[in-house]
């Protein structure tokens, strides 16, 4: 195969944008979950009408890439209130996850060719969630007066509930969820941002025996909660994730080691523990993330990967079970897509996908075990179905082929035989 040294890949992860329950969803108590389907249904019923949007969900550009065809293939039903295009310009499919969890690192690593076969550690108890010896060691080594929280919680809810006590006592707020995660919230000014980061690094080390996937720094500002919610406290853009390294080289590492350029936008670098990243671009908010993606396309040429995570779908709307907000965010993202499509060249392959679901109509606040869309444009692909992909790793395998890299052990490429210039 001719090496793809002139080829470029653009990989956009719409964080949590599932399109129907995965084949093993019942194992996660997520049977019937459907992030896209339940959003479209709520919009069709008028439940998402408001100052930001109204009426049926309008995603014309994603629809042209085959989004609703992919959803129909995944669920055997057409999304409510949506009239799909008779013809699409993209290649479309749906992928199931084979990794053991429905968390962010597992989904992203599998997308990049490395499924998570092992079991993460979890803190299952919803109250008094953490081992006392772990918290005692954290308090001792970091010189803390103690900690608050120690439970499963939504980040905004626990800041509203404990933010004032945190300011009064200097105790950071520690909490978890259904994911393999240890989160620490602290006031960016009163506690100190660098002190929070150092605390998370200490926690990362102490958590090694527990096999926890991520420690997340959750800085916030403000003086007090207002009206029973977190309106007086605001989480800042200085979140930082401390992930363990992937168990084997991902697409990012392979491309970087092959002399290619990897531009990681948003929280991508943190998710991959900065392994295989040439350049990190931080941005807050979907518009800023799209702007950074467009700028990266202007600054990169061949043998490159530009990868962006659009996190607000998950953190601002999925976990908060905000159906109307999710719908508005999807429509805003869709409106920016033509700018990206206009910048694609003959040597570009664009793939849009997701790392898991987070159905905003579902119970609780956790992720949902769902299939994800695989929408591709370029790479010699003809418009039409890519079929049911048995693993997210098909994406990594396809990108490896496009970029002229050796194949992964997992995944099957969906590129046409001659898409990479092979004889």
For 233, the enclosing helix (H) or strand (E) is: strand 233-235
Banded model confidence at residue 2, pLDDT cuts 50, 70, 90: very low
Residues 6+ apart with CB under 8 A from 408: 113, 114, 251, 393, 396, 397, 400
pLDDT tens for each residue of 107-166? 999 999 999 999 999 999 999 999 999 999 999 999 999 999 999 998 888 999 999 999
Is it the case that residue 192 has pLDDT exceeding 60? Answer: yes
* CA-to-CA separations, 49 to 35, 43, 46, 318, 325, in angstroms, rounded: 18, 7, 6, 18, 10
What is the percentage of the chain residues whose pLDDT exceeds 70? 96
Distance CA 383, CA 54 (A): 31
* CA-to-CA separations, 58 to 61, 81, 167, 176, 386, in angstroms, rounded: 9, 9, 43, 35, 24
Can you spell out the DSSP letters for 261-306? EEEEETTHHHHTTTTT-SEEE---SHHHHHHHHHHHHHH--SSEEE
Distance CA 206, CA 130 (A): 12
| Tokens (6 digits) for 90 | 């993209």
| Tokens (6 digits) for 4 | 């793809």
For 194, the enclosing helix (H) or strand (E) is: helix 193-206
pTM of the model: 0.89
Banded model confidence at residue 178, pLDDT cuts 50, 70, 90: confident
- Ramachandran region of residue 162, left (φ > 0), alpha (ψ -120 to 50) or beta? alpha
Distance CA 307, CA 297 (A): 11
The pLDDT value recorded for residue 1 is: 35
Phi, psi of 63 (to 5 degrees): -65, -40
Please provide the average confidence, as pLDDT, over all residues in the chain: 94
List, in sequence order, every residue forming a beta bridge with 310; answer none if it has no partner.
14
The pLDDT value recorded for residue 232 is: 84
Phi, psi of 104 (to 5 degrees): -65, -50
Distance CA 69, CA 64 (A): 10
pLDDT tens for each residue of 314-368? 999 999 999 999 999 999 999 999 999 999 999 999 999 999 999 999 999 899 9
Banded model confidence at residue 4, pLDDT cuts 50, 70, 90: low
pLDDT tens for each residue of 47-62? 999 998 999 999 999 9
pLDDT tens for each residue of 207-265? 999 999 999 999 999 987 554 444 589 999 899 999 999 999 999 999 999 999 999 99
Is it the case that residue 5 has pLDDT exceeding 80? Answer: no
């Amino acid at each position: 195969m001719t090496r793809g040294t002139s080829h470029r890949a653009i990989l956009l992860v719409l964080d949590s944008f599932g399109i129907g329950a995965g084949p093993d969803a019942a194992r996660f108590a997520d049977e019937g979950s459907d992030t896209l389907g339940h959003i479209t249904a709520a919009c069709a019923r008028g439940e998402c009408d408001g100052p930001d949007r109204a009426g049926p969900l309008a995603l014309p550009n994603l629809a042209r890439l085959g989004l609703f065809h992919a959803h129909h293939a995944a669920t055997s039903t057409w999304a409510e209130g949506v009239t799909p295009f008779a013809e699409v310009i993209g290649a479309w499919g749906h992928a199931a996850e084979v990794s053991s969890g429905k968390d962010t690192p597992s989904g992203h690593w599998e997308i990049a060719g490395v499924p998570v076969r092992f079991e993460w550690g979890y803190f299952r108890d919803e109250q008094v969630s953490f081992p006392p010896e772990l918290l005692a060691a954290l308090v001792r080594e970091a010189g803390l007066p103690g900690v608050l929280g120690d439970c499963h919680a939504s980040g905004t809810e626990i800041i509203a509930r404990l933010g004032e006590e945190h300011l009064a006592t200097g105790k950071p707020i520690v909490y978890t969820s259904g994911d393999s995660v240890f989160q620490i919230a602290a006031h960016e000014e009163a506690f100190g941002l660098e002190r929070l980061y150092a605390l998370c690094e200490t926690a990362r080390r102490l958590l090694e025996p527990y096999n926890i996937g991520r420690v997340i720094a959750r800085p916030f500002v403000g003086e007090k909660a207002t009206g029973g919610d977190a309106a007086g406290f605001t989480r800042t853009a200085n979140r930082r994730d401390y992930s363990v390294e992937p168990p084997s080289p991902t697409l990012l590492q392979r491309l970087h080691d092959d002399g290619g350029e990897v531009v990681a936008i948003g929280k991508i670098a943190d998710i991959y523990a900065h392994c295989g990243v040439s350049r990190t671009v931080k941005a807050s908010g979907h518009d800023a993330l799209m702007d950074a993606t467009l700028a990266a396309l202007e600054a990169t040429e061949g043998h490159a990967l530009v990868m962006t995570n659009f996190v607000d779908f998950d953190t601002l709307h999925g976990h908060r079970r905000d159906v109307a907000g999710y719908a508005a965010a999807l429509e805003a993202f869709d409106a920016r897509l033509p700018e990206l499509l206009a910048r694609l060249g003959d040597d570009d392959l664009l793939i849009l996908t997701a790392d898991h679901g987070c159905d905003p109509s579902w119970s609780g606040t956790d992720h949902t075990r769902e299939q994800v869309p695989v929408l591709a444009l370029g790479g010699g692909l003809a418009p039409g179905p890519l079929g049911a992909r048995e693993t997210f790793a098909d994406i990594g395998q396809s990108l490896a082929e496009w970029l002229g890299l050796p194949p992964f052990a997992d995944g099957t490429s969906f590129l046409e035989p001659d898409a990479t210039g092979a004889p």
